[in-house]
Amino acid sequence: MDTALHTEPGGPSIELRDGPLLLRKRSVSEMHNNVYLLACAVSGQALLIDAADDAPLIRDLATGTLPIAVVQTHGHWDHVRAWAELAADPGLEVWGHEGDVELYPHAPDRLLTDGQQVKVGALDVEVLHVPGHTPGSLLLLVHGSERPWLVTGDSLFPGGPGNTFGDLAAHAQLMDGLEQRVFGRLPDETMVLPGHGDATTLGRERPQLQEWRERGW
């Protein structure tokens, strides 16, 4: 498997299967935002991750599945531009965390909490609240047959944690969350699916943890 899972903005999506998990990835907008689909391969129920931009492309990503909600990893403007258009689709809710309510352009239909398990057909999608990049940043963890898959939004990328805009306390908070909740818990083969750019694995990033903490952001 190509662990980079590279996509180009406006280009075709990538689809792969890991046991009960059907995963799709597509890149949209000039910001190279990634939108993901986490679907149950049995029932077709699915979550879309981030209403970033270009609602028609996001709808196309969900073709053949039954999306129940769009989950926002956080509330920054480049991740929410298709919110209103997608929220107008019958039966499709938008979910987020209370910590980012002031950033969201609209009120979420449902507020998710740390440790919550969301049933998506045969899948259990775990919600991890890891603040730092924003107060309400969420990561989403789902287990396939071969490995765990972790959607990290802008909290973790190949090469480092998300930007905390010079706030050293927020950087320390984000690093604490990543070390304790992610690297301290999940195996090296875990696939990291960030909000922009290519994917990576925890094993590839783990040796750099101390360097990231020391450099700040």
- Walking along the chain (217 residues) 10 residues at a time, the average pLDDT comes out as 89 97 97 97 98 97 98 98 97 98 98 98 98 98 98 98 96 98 98 98 98 88
Cα–Cα distance between 32 and 84 in angstroms, integer? 20
- What pLDDT is stored for residue 212 in this prediction? 96
pLDDT at position 3: 83
Into which CATH architecture does domain 14-215 fall? 4-Layer Sandwich (3.60)
pLDDT of amino acid 216: 81
Residue spans of the domains in the chain: they are 14-215
| Model pLDDT, residue 25 | 98
DSSP 8-class letter at 59 = H
CA-nearest of 150, 198, 199 to 177 is: 150
Q: What is the pLDDT of residue 2?
A: 76
The reply to whether the predicted model has a pTM over 0.85 is yes
pLDDT of 56 reads: 97
Contact 91, 132 (CB under 8 A): no
- Contact predicate 54/29, CB 8 Å: yes
